C-alpha cells in the first residue's frame, strides 16, 4: 500500500514491440512526464527520506498493453524494466475504451475547449456518437479510480494529473473518502463563455469531478481564475474569491497555483552525456558559424508552428541581410496522428518548410532544417547551440521548452515568447513577447533577437534561467501535497 499515488495518462516509460515479440522501452514524452519522473524516481531511492510513491498510468498502445500483461498485476518495475527508480503500475485498459476516451474526448474535445481551438461554424458537434465516447471517458476514469482506491494506504495522498482524468477525483472520493486528493491541470482552463460549448451535463460533470478533490491546482493565476469563473456557473456551488475555495455538496475544494520549473542539475547532467555531445558536434558542423534559431515542439495545433515558420519566411523576405547568415532548426515531432486535424497540420508544417527552402535555399545554404522524428538527445543539443529560441503557442498551460532552453544555453540565447504561453507569467520581463497571431511582429522580434548584443543576450538568459529553475519539479509536487495538509 502506497502513501502517495500519482495518476496520469502517460507514464515515465513507453514500449515498442518487435516482430519477434521482444519489448523495447524508452523514456515517456511530454512536459508532464518531465515534471514528474524525477520526483517519483527520487522517492524510490534507498537513501531517500519520504513516502512510498506509486505512479499509475495507462497503456497507450499494444506494446504497452503487452508489457502490462507480462508484469505482475501491471507493475512493470517488478518485471525487470528500468523505470528510473519509479514504482509504476500500467493499466491494461481495453483498446477501444482507451481510443474513445483519449482521442475522442480528451484530445478532440477537452483539449480543444481549453486551448480555444474549435472552428465553431463547423465544430464541435455533440451527437449520439459523442455520448458513446463520453461513456468510454467515464470508464477510463473509473479504471484509474479503482486502481488508486486499491493501492492507497489508509489516509494516503493521491495526486491526479490533467484533463484526461477530470472525473477521477470525485470517483476516488466516493470509493475512498479517507484519502486526501489533489487534481492538477497542466493545460489552460477555458473562460466560461467558451467552456459553455460543452454539453451542459458534461461540462457540469467535469467541474464536479475536479471538485471531488481537496485541492485543485493550476499553473498560473490566469487559469485558476478561469476555473473559478466556470464554477460560479455551477448550480449550488459557492465560490469564495478571497479564500480561493469552492464549496459544493458540502465539500470544500481549495484552488491553488503551482508554477512548474526545471530541475537544472538533472537536465544539465543529461545534456552532458555522450549522445548529446555527439549530436551537438554534428549540428554545429551542419550549421557552421551561422546564427541558429531553434524551436522544439510536437506538431500540436496549439503550438502554432505554421505561423512560426511564416514569421521566419517574412524575416528572410524583409531582411535579406540574414540570408546565408542564419539557420532555423525546427523540431516538429508528430503528435496525435490518429486524429485527421493533426495529420493535416503536420502536412501543413512540412509544406511550409519546403516552400521556405525552395524560395530561399542556395547551393551552400539551407535556411531551414525540419526534424520530424523524436530525438530527445538532439533536442538537448539544439538548446545548447541556440542563439534564439522561438516559443509562440496560441495557448499553452506552461510550455517547459521556454524554460529548458535558457537553462542549457551555452552562450546565452534570446527568447521570443508568446504572451499566451503559461510561462509568460514568469519569463515576460526578459523575453521578447509576441502576439502569436501576429506573424509580422514575430518576424521583427526574431530580427531584434538576432541583433541583440551577446552581453545583453547572456544577461537576459541568466535571469530567464533563474526564473525557470525557481520552482523545480520536486518543489512543485511537494507544494501540492503540502496543500492537502
From residue 385, give the alpha-carbon distance in Å to each of 231, 263, 268, 276, 406.
45, 20, 14, 11, 11
Quick check: helix, strand or coil at residue 452? coil
Beta strand 13-17 with 291-298: parallel, antiparallel or unpaired?
unpaired
Q: Which residue carries 551542419 as its cell? A: 286
- Cis peptide bond upstream of 451, omega within 30: no
Where does residue 350 rank: exposed (0-12), middle (13-18), buried (19+ CB within 10 A)?
middle
- pTM for this entry: 0.91
What are 16's three cell numbers? 515498442
Residue 405 near residue 431, CB atoms below 8 Å: no
Residue 465 near residue 407, CB atoms below 8 Å: yes
In sequence order, which residues have a C-beta less than 8 Å from that of residue 225 and are 6 or more positions away?
A: none
Q: Which residue carries 477537452 as its cell? A: 110
Residue 290 near residue 326, CB atoms below 8 Å: yes
Q: What is the pLDDT of residue 178?
A: 97
What are 56's three cell numbers? 499509475
Residue 149 near residue 175, CB atoms below 8 Å: yes
What is the radius of gyration, based on Cα positions, of the chain?
A: 22
Sign of CA dihedral 226, 231, 234, 239: negative
- Cis peptide bond upstream of 124, omega within 30: yes
CA dihedral 263, 264, 269, 271 (to 10 degrees): 110
Q: What residues does 247 pair with on adjacent strands? A: 238, 252
Where does 377-456 show beta strands of DSSP type E? 388-391, 414-418, 432-434
Query: Edge-to-edge strand order for the sheet containing 245-248?
Result: 87-91, 53-58, 2-7, 152-161, 180-185, 215-218, 251-257, 245-248, 238-240
Question: How far is the C-alpha of 328 from the C-alpha of 331, rounded, in Å?
Answer: 10
Question: How far is the C-alpha of 360 from the C-alpha of 325, rounded, in Å?
Answer: 12
Question: How far is the C-alpha of 193 from the C-alpha of 179, rounded, in Å?
Answer: 34
Where does 68-130 show beta strands of DSSP type E? 87-91
Q: What is the pLDDT of residue 132?
A: 97
Q: What is the pLDDT of residue 51?
A: 57
DSSP 51-76: --EEEEEE--SHHHHHHHHTSGGGBG
Backbone angles phi, psi at 152, to 5 degrees: -80, 135
Residue 88 near residue 75, CB atoms below 8 Å: yes
Question: How far is the C-alpha of 327 from the C-alpha of 307, rounded, in Å?
Answer: 17
CA dihedral 55, 56, 61, 67 (to 10 degrees): 70
Question: How far is the C-alpha of 292 from the C-alpha of 427, rounded, in Å?
Answer: 21
Question: What is the block-wise mean pLDDT of the chain (485 residues), using blocks of 10 residues?
Answer: 90 85 73 57 49 88 92 90 83 95 95 95 95 98 97 95 97 98 97 98 97 98 97 95 96 96 93 97 95 94 96 98 98 80 90 97 95 90 97 95 97 97 96 98 98 97 97 90 92
Where does 165-271 show beta strands of DSSP type E? 180-185, 215-218, 238-240, 245-248, 251-257
Quick check: helix, strand or coil at residue 476? helix
Question: How far is the C-alpha of 253 from the C-alpha of 46, rounded, in Å?
Answer: 35
Amino acid at each position: 500500500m502506497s502513501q502517495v499515488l500519482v495518476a496520469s495518462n502517460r507514464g515515465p516509460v513507453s514500449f515498442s514491440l518487435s516482430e519477434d515479440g521482444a519489448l523495447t522501452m524508452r523514456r515517456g514524452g511530454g512536459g508532464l512526464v518531465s515534471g514528474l519522473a524525477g520526483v517519483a524516481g527520487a522517492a524510490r531511492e534507498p537513501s531517500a527520506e519520504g513516502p512510498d510513491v506509486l505512479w499509475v498510468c495507462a497503456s497507450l498502445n499494444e506494446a504497452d498493453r503487452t508489457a502490462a500483461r507480462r508484469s505482475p498485476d501491471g507493475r512493470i518495475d517488478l518485471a525487470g524494466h528500468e523505470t528510473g527508480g519509479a514504482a509504476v503500475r500500467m493499466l491494461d485498459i481495453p483498446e477501444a475504451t482507451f481510443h474513445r476516451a483519449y482521442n475522442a474526448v480528451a484530445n478532440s474535445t477537452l483539449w480543444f475547449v481549453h486551448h480555444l481551438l474549435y472552428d465553431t461554424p463547423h465544430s464541435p458537434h455533440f451527437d449520439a456518437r459523442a455520448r458513446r465516447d463520453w461513456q468510454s471517458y467515464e470508464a477510463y476514469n473509473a479504471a484509474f479510480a479503482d486502481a488508486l482506491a486499491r493501492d492507497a494506504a489508509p489516509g494516503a495522498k493521491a495526486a491526479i494529473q490533467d484533463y484526461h482524468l477530470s472525473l477521477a477525483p470525485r470517483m476516488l472520493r466516493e470509493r475512498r473518502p479517507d484519502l486526501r486528493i489533489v487534481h492538477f491541470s497542466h493545460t489552460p482552463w477555458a473562460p466560461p463563455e467558451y467552456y459553455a460549448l460543452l454539453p451542459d451535463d458534461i461540462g457540469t460533470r467535469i467541474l464536479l469531478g475536479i471538485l471531488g478533490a481537496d485541492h485543485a491546482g493550476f499553473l498560473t493565476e490566469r487559469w485558476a481564475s478561469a476555473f473559478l469563473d466556470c464554477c460560479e456557473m455551477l448550480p449550488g456551488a459557492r465560490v469564495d474569491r478571497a479564500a480561493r475555495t469552492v464549496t459544493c455538496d458540502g465539500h470544500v475544494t481549495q484552488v491553488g497555483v503551482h508554477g512548474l520549473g526545471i530541475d537544472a542539475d538533472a537536465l544539465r547532467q543529461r545534456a552532458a552525456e555522450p549522445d548529446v555531445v555527439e549530436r551537438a558536434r554534428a549540428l554545429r558542423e551542419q550549421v557552421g558559424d551561422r546564427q541558429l534559431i531553434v524551436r522544439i515542439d510536437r506538431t500540436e495545433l496549439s503550438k502554432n508552428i505554421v505561423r512560426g515558420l511564416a514569421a521566419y519566411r517574412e524575416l528572410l523576405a524583409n531582411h535579406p541581410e540574414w540570408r546565408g547568415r542564419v539557420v532555423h532548426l525546427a523540431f516538429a515531432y508528430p503528435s496525435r496522428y490518429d486524429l485527421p486535424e493533426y495529420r493535416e497540420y503536420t502536412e501543413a508544417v512540412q509544406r511550409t518548410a519546403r516552400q521556405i527552402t525552395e524560395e530561399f535555399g542556395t547551393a551552400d545554404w539551407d535556411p531551414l532544417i525540419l526534424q520530424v522524428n523524436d530525438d530527445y538527445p538532439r533536442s538537448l543539443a539544439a538548446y545548447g547551440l541556440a542563439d534564439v529560441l522561438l516559443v509562440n503557442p496560441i495557448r499553452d498551460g506552461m510550455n517547459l521548452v521556454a524554460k529548458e532552453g535558457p537553462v542549457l544555453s551555452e552562450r546565452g540565447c534570446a527568447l521570443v515568447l508568446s504572451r499566451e504561453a503559461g510561462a509568460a507569467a514568469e519569463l515576460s520581463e526578459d523575453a521578447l513577447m509576441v502576439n502569436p497571431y501576429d506573424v509580422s511582429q514575430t518576424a521583427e522580434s526574431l530580427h531584434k533577437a538576432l541583433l541583440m548584443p551577446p552581453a545583453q543576450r547572456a544577461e537576459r538568459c541568466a535571469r530567464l534561467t533563474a526564473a525557470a529553475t525557481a520552482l523545480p519539479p520536486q518543489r512543485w509536487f511537494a507544494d501540492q501535497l503540502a496543500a492537502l495538509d
